[in-house]
Amino acid sequence: MLAGELEYDLPGELIAQHPVSPRDGSRLLVYDCADGRTEHRRFADLLHFLRPGDLLVYNNSRVLKARINAKRSTGGRAELLFLSRRENHIWEVLARPSARLKPGEALSLRRRPEDAAVPAQDAGTGGAPVFFLRENLGSGRWLVENISRLGTMDLLEQAGEMPLPPYINEKLDRPERYQTIFAREYGSAAAPTAGLHFTSSLIDGVKATGARVEPLTLHIGLGTFRPISAARLAGHRMHAESYRLPAHTLAAVEETRRSGGRVIAVGTTTVRVLETVFGEPPGPLAGTADLFITPGFRFGAVDCLLTNFHLPRSTLLALVMAFAGVEETRRLYREAVRERYRFYSFGDAMLLL
Protein backbone atom coordinates (compact mmCIF):
# COMPACT_ATOMS: atom_id res chain seq x y z
CA MET A 1 0.00 0.00 0.00
CA LEU A 2 1.27 3.49 -0.83
CA ALA A 3 1.64 5.98 2.01
CA GLY A 4 -0.13 8.55 -0.16
CA GLU A 5 -3.30 6.48 0.20
CA LEU A 6 -3.42 7.63 3.83
CA GLU A 7 -3.99 11.25 2.82
CA TYR A 8 -7.31 13.06 3.17
CA ASP A 9 -8.54 16.66 3.15
CA LEU A 10 -9.29 18.24 6.51
CA PRO A 11 -10.30 21.87 7.06
CA GLY A 12 -8.05 23.38 9.74
CA GLU A 13 -10.99 24.59 11.81
CA LEU A 14 -11.98 20.96 12.50
CA ILE A 15 -8.76 20.31 14.47
CA ALA A 16 -10.02 20.49 18.06
CA GLN A 17 -8.02 22.89 20.24
CA HIS A 18 -9.90 22.27 23.49
CA PRO A 19 -11.66 19.26 25.06
CA VAL A 20 -15.41 19.26 25.38
CA SER A 21 -17.13 19.36 28.75
CA PRO A 22 -18.34 17.00 30.03
CA ARG A 23 -15.90 14.47 28.61
CA ASP A 24 -18.64 12.14 27.36
CA GLY A 25 -20.39 15.03 25.61
CA SER A 26 -18.26 14.52 22.51
CA ARG A 27 -19.78 13.03 19.37
CA LEU A 28 -19.55 9.39 18.36
CA LEU A 29 -19.66 8.07 14.81
CA VAL A 30 -20.76 4.41 14.98
CA TYR A 31 -20.02 2.08 12.08
CA ASP A 32 -21.06 -1.55 11.86
CA CYS A 33 -18.40 -3.30 9.77
CA ALA A 34 -20.73 -6.25 9.09
CA ASP A 35 -23.73 -4.45 7.57
CA GLY A 36 -22.22 -1.06 6.68
CA ARG A 37 -24.68 0.87 8.85
CA THR A 38 -23.55 4.27 10.16
CA GLU A 39 -25.04 6.24 13.05
CA HIS A 40 -24.25 9.67 14.51
CA ARG A 41 -24.46 9.65 18.29
CA ARG A 42 -23.06 11.19 21.47
CA PHE A 43 -20.26 9.39 23.26
CA ALA A 44 -22.48 8.61 26.26
CA ASP A 45 -24.60 6.55 23.84
CA LEU A 46 -21.80 3.97 23.84
CA LEU A 47 -23.86 2.10 26.43
CA HIS A 48 -26.52 1.31 23.80
CA PHE A 49 -24.00 -0.72 21.79
CA LEU A 50 -22.65 -2.90 24.62
CA ARG A 51 -23.78 -6.41 25.48
CA PRO A 52 -23.51 -8.50 28.64
CA GLY A 53 -20.23 -10.40 28.47
CA ASP A 54 -18.37 -7.73 26.48
CA LEU A 55 -14.97 -6.56 27.68
CA LEU A 56 -13.58 -3.03 27.34
CA VAL A 57 -9.79 -2.87 27.59
CA TYR A 58 -8.18 0.55 28.13
CA ASN A 59 -4.67 2.02 28.40
CA ASN A 60 -3.90 3.35 31.89
CA SER A 61 -0.67 5.16 30.97
CA ARG A 62 -0.29 8.66 32.42
CA VAL A 63 1.29 11.56 30.52
CA LEU A 64 4.45 12.91 32.08
CA LYS A 65 4.80 16.64 32.64
CA ALA A 66 7.82 16.02 30.52
CA ARG A 67 8.82 19.51 29.32
CA ILE A 68 11.36 21.29 31.53
CA ASN A 69 12.50 24.89 31.10
CA ALA A 70 16.17 24.98 32.07
CA LYS A 71 18.91 27.58 32.49
CA ARG A 72 22.46 27.04 31.29
CA SER A 73 25.52 28.06 33.31
CA THR A 74 26.03 30.80 30.68
CA GLY A 75 22.64 32.24 31.54
CA GLY A 76 21.10 31.06 28.28
CA ARG A 77 17.91 29.05 27.99
CA ALA A 78 17.38 25.39 27.19
CA GLU A 79 14.33 23.15 26.96
CA LEU A 80 14.33 19.45 27.79
CA LEU A 81 11.59 17.03 26.77
CA PHE A 82 11.96 13.81 28.75
CA LEU A 83 11.40 10.74 26.59
CA SER A 84 12.42 7.61 28.50
CA ARG A 85 14.43 6.45 31.49
CA ARG A 86 17.60 4.57 30.60
CA GLU A 87 18.86 3.64 34.08
CA ASN A 88 18.45 4.98 37.60
CA HIS A 89 18.74 8.78 37.28
CA ILE A 90 19.71 8.83 33.60
CA TRP A 91 17.11 9.78 30.99
CA GLU A 92 16.97 10.28 27.25
CA VAL A 93 15.65 13.73 26.41
CA LEU A 94 14.99 15.86 23.37
CA ALA A 95 16.89 19.12 23.96
CA ARG A 96 16.95 22.48 22.28
CA PRO A 97 18.93 24.40 21.24
CA SER A 98 20.80 21.10 20.95
CA ALA A 99 23.68 22.40 18.81
CA ARG A 100 24.72 24.89 21.51
CA LEU A 101 24.76 22.43 24.37
CA LYS A 102 27.96 20.67 25.44
CA PRO A 103 28.64 17.36 27.23
CA GLY A 104 29.53 18.00 30.86
CA GLU A 105 27.33 21.10 31.10
CA ALA A 106 25.07 21.50 34.13
CA LEU A 107 21.55 22.93 33.90
CA SER A 108 19.34 24.43 36.58
CA LEU A 109 15.61 25.09 36.51
CA ARG A 110 14.42 28.33 34.92
CA ARG A 111 11.51 29.97 36.66
CA ARG A 112 8.61 30.79 34.37
CA PRO A 113 7.17 34.34 34.32
CA GLU A 114 3.91 33.08 35.80
CA ASP A 115 5.86 31.69 38.79
CA ALA A 116 7.55 35.00 39.66
CA ALA A 117 5.25 35.70 42.60
CA VAL A 118 5.54 32.18 44.02
CA PRO A 119 7.87 32.09 47.04
CA ALA A 120 8.80 28.41 46.63
CA GLN A 121 12.35 28.07 45.30
CA ASP A 122 12.49 26.23 41.99
CA ALA A 123 10.72 23.02 43.04
CA GLY A 124 12.94 22.76 46.12
CA THR A 125 16.26 22.93 44.25
CA GLY A 126 17.19 26.44 45.41
CA GLY A 127 18.51 27.35 41.98
CA ALA A 128 21.27 24.73 42.16
CA PRO A 129 22.23 22.61 39.12
CA VAL A 130 19.68 19.87 38.52
CA PHE A 131 20.75 18.09 35.34
CA PHE A 132 24.12 17.05 33.95
CA LEU A 133 24.48 16.60 30.19
CA ARG A 134 26.24 13.29 29.72
CA GLU A 135 26.13 12.40 26.02
CA ASN A 136 24.91 13.84 22.72
CA LEU A 137 23.02 11.07 20.91
CA GLY A 138 22.42 13.13 17.78
CA SER A 139 19.21 14.45 16.20
CA GLY A 140 18.58 16.64 19.24
CA ARG A 141 18.61 13.73 21.69
CA TRP A 142 20.79 13.71 24.80
CA LEU A 143 21.42 11.56 27.84
CA VAL A 144 21.01 13.64 30.99
CA GLU A 145 21.56 12.72 34.62
CA ASN A 146 19.41 14.04 37.44
CA ILE A 147 21.87 15.32 40.06
CA SER A 148 19.29 16.92 42.36
CA ARG A 149 18.03 15.54 45.65
CA LEU A 150 14.59 14.98 44.11
CA GLY A 151 13.57 11.93 42.10
CA THR A 152 13.04 12.69 38.41
CA MET A 153 9.32 11.87 38.55
CA ASP A 154 8.84 14.24 41.51
CA LEU A 155 10.87 16.90 39.74
CA LEU A 156 8.79 16.63 36.57
CA GLU A 157 5.53 16.64 38.51
CA GLN A 158 6.53 19.82 40.38
CA ALA A 159 8.36 21.79 37.70
CA GLY A 160 7.41 20.22 34.36
CA GLU A 161 4.84 21.28 31.79
CA MET A 162 2.42 19.07 29.88
CA PRO A 163 3.67 18.42 26.33
CA LEU A 164 0.65 18.93 24.08
CA PRO A 165 0.55 17.60 20.49
CA PRO A 166 2.10 19.87 17.84
CA TYR A 167 -1.27 20.60 16.21
CA ILE A 168 -2.73 22.14 19.40
CA ASN A 169 -1.84 25.82 19.29
CA GLU A 170 -3.81 27.13 22.26
CA LYS A 171 -2.87 26.89 25.93
CA LEU A 172 -4.71 24.28 27.98
CA ASP A 173 -6.12 25.90 31.12
CA ARG A 174 -6.52 22.58 32.95
CA PRO A 175 -3.66 20.17 32.17
CA GLU A 176 -5.58 17.29 33.77
CA ARG A 177 -7.91 17.34 30.77
CA TYR A 178 -5.04 15.84 28.78
CA GLN A 179 -5.11 12.86 31.16
CA THR A 180 -7.70 10.11 31.03
CA ILE A 181 -9.62 9.17 34.17
CA PHE A 182 -7.75 5.85 33.96
CA ALA A 183 -4.26 7.44 34.06
CA ARG A 184 -2.16 5.65 36.68
CA GLU A 185 1.21 4.56 35.27
CA TYR A 186 3.58 7.45 34.47
CA GLY A 187 5.50 7.19 31.23
CA SER A 188 3.73 8.62 28.15
CA ALA A 189 4.66 11.61 26.03
CA ALA A 190 1.07 11.78 24.72
CA ALA A 191 -2.33 10.76 26.02
CA PRO A 192 -4.16 7.62 24.86
CA THR A 193 -6.84 9.89 23.46
CA ALA A 194 -9.71 7.43 23.01
CA GLY A 195 -9.83 7.20 26.80
CA LEU A 196 -10.26 10.97 27.22
CA HIS A 197 -14.02 10.65 26.56
CA PHE A 198 -14.79 8.49 29.60
CA THR A 199 -16.20 9.68 32.92
CA SER A 200 -16.55 7.72 36.14
CA SER A 201 -20.33 7.66 35.77
CA LEU A 202 -20.02 6.33 32.22
CA ILE A 203 -17.79 3.51 33.46
CA ASP A 204 -20.44 2.71 36.06
CA GLY A 205 -22.93 2.56 33.19
CA VAL A 206 -20.67 0.23 31.23
CA LYS A 207 -20.56 -2.19 34.16
CA ALA A 208 -24.33 -1.94 34.60
CA THR A 209 -24.77 -3.31 31.06
CA GLY A 210 -22.98 -6.49 32.12
CA ALA A 211 -19.75 -5.58 30.33
CA ARG A 212 -16.38 -5.73 32.08
CA VAL A 213 -13.56 -3.18 32.12
CA GLU A 214 -9.84 -4.07 32.41
CA PRO A 215 -6.55 -2.14 32.00
CA LEU A 216 -3.24 -2.54 30.27
CA THR A 217 -0.30 -0.16 29.95
CA LEU A 218 1.46 1.14 26.87
CA HIS A 219 3.67 4.20 27.24
CA ILE A 220 3.18 6.37 24.16
CA GLY A 221 6.29 7.93 22.66
CA LEU A 222 6.76 10.90 20.33
CA GLY A 223 6.91 8.44 17.43
CA THR A 224 3.12 8.41 17.48
CA PHE A 225 3.21 11.87 15.83
CA ARG A 226 5.82 10.92 13.22
CA PRO A 227 4.23 10.69 9.75
CA ILE A 228 5.05 7.82 7.42
CA SER A 229 7.81 9.16 5.19
CA ALA A 230 8.46 6.03 3.12
CA ALA A 231 6.70 5.79 -0.24
CA ARG A 232 5.21 2.43 0.73
CA LEU A 233 3.99 1.28 4.13
CA ALA A 234 6.28 -1.74 3.91
CA GLY A 235 9.25 0.63 3.99
CA HIS A 236 8.26 2.35 7.23
CA ARG A 237 10.07 1.45 10.45
CA MET A 238 7.52 1.36 13.26
CA HIS A 239 8.40 3.10 16.52
CA ALA A 240 8.68 0.90 19.62
CA GLU A 241 6.91 1.53 22.94
CA SER A 242 7.05 -0.35 26.24
CA TYR A 243 3.93 -2.17 27.41
CA ARG A 244 2.56 -4.45 30.13
CA LEU A 245 -0.54 -6.64 30.04
CA PRO A 246 -1.62 -7.65 33.58
CA ALA A 247 -2.35 -11.33 34.11
CA HIS A 248 -5.94 -10.56 35.17
CA THR A 249 -6.54 -8.67 31.91
CA LEU A 250 -5.09 -11.57 29.94
CA ALA A 251 -7.45 -13.93 31.76
CA ALA A 252 -10.42 -11.62 31.11
CA VAL A 253 -9.67 -11.49 27.37
CA GLU A 254 -9.37 -15.28 27.19
CA GLU A 255 -12.62 -15.77 29.14
CA THR A 256 -14.45 -13.23 26.97
CA ARG A 257 -13.39 -14.97 23.78
CA ARG A 258 -14.35 -18.41 25.14
CA SER A 259 -17.80 -17.21 26.20
CA GLY A 260 -18.59 -15.46 22.92
CA GLY A 261 -18.32 -11.90 24.20
CA ARG A 262 -16.60 -9.10 22.32
CA VAL A 263 -13.22 -7.59 23.17
CA ILE A 264 -13.54 -3.83 22.64
CA ALA A 265 -10.24 -1.96 22.47
CA VAL A 266 -10.27 1.60 23.77
CA GLY A 267 -7.75 3.14 21.40
CA THR A 268 -5.15 2.03 18.91
CA THR A 269 -2.50 1.61 21.62
CA THR A 270 -4.69 -1.02 23.28
CA VAL A 271 -5.05 -2.80 19.94
CA ARG A 272 -1.28 -2.96 19.47
CA VAL A 273 -0.72 -4.52 22.89
CA LEU A 274 -3.49 -7.11 22.56
CA GLU A 275 -2.51 -8.10 19.03
CA THR A 276 1.13 -8.36 20.13
CA VAL A 277 0.35 -10.65 23.05
CA PHE A 278 -2.25 -12.72 21.16
CA GLY A 279 -0.30 -12.74 17.91
CA GLU A 280 1.40 -15.58 16.07
CA PRO A 281 3.71 -16.32 17.76
CA PRO A 282 2.28 -14.99 21.06
CA GLY A 283 4.16 -12.10 22.62
CA PRO A 284 5.23 -11.74 26.27
CA LEU A 285 3.03 -10.03 28.86
CA ALA A 286 5.57 -7.21 29.14
CA GLY A 287 8.06 -5.89 26.64
CA THR A 288 8.32 -3.59 23.65
CA ALA A 289 5.55 -3.26 21.07
CA ASP A 290 6.61 -2.36 17.55
CA LEU A 291 3.77 -4.06 15.69
CA PHE A 292 2.82 -2.12 12.54
CA ILE A 293 -0.80 -2.97 11.70
CA THR A 294 -1.66 -2.26 8.07
CA PRO A 295 -4.48 -3.29 5.70
CA GLY A 296 -4.48 -7.06 5.29
CA PHE A 297 -3.64 -7.70 8.96
CA ARG A 298 -5.59 -10.53 10.61
CA PHE A 299 -6.87 -9.50 14.04
CA GLY A 300 -6.67 -12.26 16.61
CA ALA A 301 -7.83 -10.56 19.81
CA VAL A 302 -9.84 -7.39 19.13
CA ASP A 303 -13.46 -7.49 17.94
CA CYS A 304 -14.42 -3.80 18.17
CA LEU A 305 -12.43 -0.57 18.19
CA LEU A 306 -13.16 2.74 19.88
CA THR A 307 -10.85 5.45 18.52
CA ASN A 308 -10.47 9.13 17.68
CA PHE A 309 -9.93 10.54 14.19
CA HIS A 310 -6.25 10.43 13.23
CA LEU A 311 -3.72 12.41 11.24
CA PRO A 312 -3.09 11.76 7.53
CA ARG A 313 -0.11 9.51 6.70
CA SER A 314 -0.09 8.16 10.27
CA THR A 315 0.41 4.60 11.46
CA LEU A 316 -2.79 5.07 13.49
CA LEU A 317 -4.86 5.71 10.38
CA ALA A 318 -3.29 2.64 8.75
CA LEU A 319 -4.47 0.57 11.73
CA VAL A 320 -8.01 1.90 11.42
CA MET A 321 -8.01 1.07 7.70
CA ALA A 322 -6.81 -2.45 8.54
CA PHE A 323 -9.75 -2.85 10.91
CA ALA A 324 -12.61 -1.22 8.98
CA GLY A 325 -11.35 -1.45 5.40
CA VAL A 326 -9.49 1.10 3.29
CA GLU A 327 -12.38 2.45 1.24
CA GLU A 328 -14.79 2.25 4.18
CA THR A 329 -12.42 4.32 6.33
CA ARG A 330 -12.00 6.92 3.60
CA ARG A 331 -15.78 7.17 3.31
CA LEU A 332 -16.21 7.48 7.08
CA TYR A 333 -13.61 10.24 7.27
CA ARG A 334 -15.30 12.13 4.42
CA GLU A 335 -18.61 11.81 6.25
CA ALA A 336 -17.04 12.99 9.51
CA VAL A 337 -15.68 16.08 7.73
CA ARG A 338 -19.05 16.72 6.09
CA GLU A 339 -20.83 16.39 9.45
CA ARG A 340 -18.28 18.72 11.10
CA TYR A 341 -16.84 16.26 13.59
CA ARG A 342 -13.88 17.50 15.63
CA PHE A 343 -10.56 15.78 14.85
CA TYR A 344 -7.44 14.54 16.65
CA SER A 345 -6.62 14.41 20.40
CA PHE A 346 -9.40 16.64 21.77
CA GLY A 347 -11.81 15.68 19.01
CA ASP A 348 -14.71 13.30 18.65
CA ALA A 349 -14.63 9.50 18.49
CA MET A 350 -15.58 6.60 16.27
CA LEU A 351 -16.86 3.18 17.32
CA LEU A 352 -16.15 0.36 14.86
CA LEU A 353 -18.31 -2.69 15.55
Distance separating alpha carbons of residues 138 and 291, to the nearest angstrom? 25
Distance separating alpha carbons of residues 336 and 186, to the nearest angstrom? 33
Q: Is residue 164 part of a domain?
A: no
Q: Is residue 182 part of a domain?
A: yes
Distance separating alpha carbons of residues 187 and 92, to the nearest angstrom? 13
Residue 95: strand pairing partners: 80
User: Mean pLDDT, consecutive 10-residue segments, the chain of 353 residues?
Assistant: 93 95 96 95 98 98 90 88 84 87 90 47 62 90 90 87 85 88 91 96 98 97 82 90 96 97 98 96 93 95 98 95 97 97 97 98
User: Do 59 and 74 have their domain in common?
Assistant: no
Q: What is the pLDDT of residue 229?
A: 85
pLDDT in tens, 48-105: 999 999 999 999 999 988 889 999 888 889 999 888 888 878 998 889 888 889 899 9
How many Cβ atoms sit within 10 Å of the Cβ of residue 201? 11
Q: What is the pLDDT of residue 146?
A: 92
Q: Is residue 165 part of a domain?
A: no
Distance separating alpha carbons of residues 216 and 273, to the nearest angstrom? 8
User: Do 97 and 188 have their domain in common?
Assistant: no
How many Cβ atoms sit within 10 Å of the Cβ of residue 132? 17
How many Cβ atoms sit within 10 Å of the Cβ of residue 63? 23
Say which CATH number the domain at 312 has: 3.40.1780.10
Distance separating alpha carbons of residues 313 and 316, to the nearest angstrom? 9
Contacts of 103 (CB under 8 A, 6+ apart): 133, 134, 135, 136
Secondary structure of 252-305 in the HEC alphabet?
HHHHHHHHCCCEEEECHHHHHHHHHHCCCCCCCCEEEECCCCCCCCCCCCCCEE
Distance separating alpha carbons of residues 117 and 202, to the nearest angstrom? 40
User: Do 234 and 335 have their domain in common?
Assistant: yes
Count of domains for the chain:
2
pTM (predicted TM-score): 0.88
Nearest 5°: phi and psi at 332? -65, -40
Taking only Cα atoms into account, the Rg of the chain, rounded to an integer number of angstroms, comes to 21
Greatest CA separation for the chain: 65
Q: Is residue 167 part of a domain?
A: no
Give the DSSP letter string of 40-100.
EEEGGGGGGG--TT-EEEEE-EEE---EEEEEETTS-EEEEEEEEEEETTEEEEEEETGGG
Q: What is the pLDDT of residue 100?
A: 86
Domain boundary among 159, 194, 211: 159
Q: Is residue 166 part of a domain?
A: no
Contacts of 97 (CB under 8 A, 6+ apart): 78
User: Do 33 and 154 have their domain in common?
Assistant: no
User: Do 123 and 42 have their domain in common?
Assistant: no
Which H or E run contains 215? strand 212-218
Distance separating alpha carbons of residues 92 and 220, to the nearest angstrom? 15
Distance separating alpha carbons of residues 278 and 299, to the nearest angstrom? 9
Distance separating alpha carbons of residues 243 and 59, to the nearest angstrom? 10
Range of the domain at 78: 67-159
User: Do 344 and 314 have their domain in common?
Assistant: yes
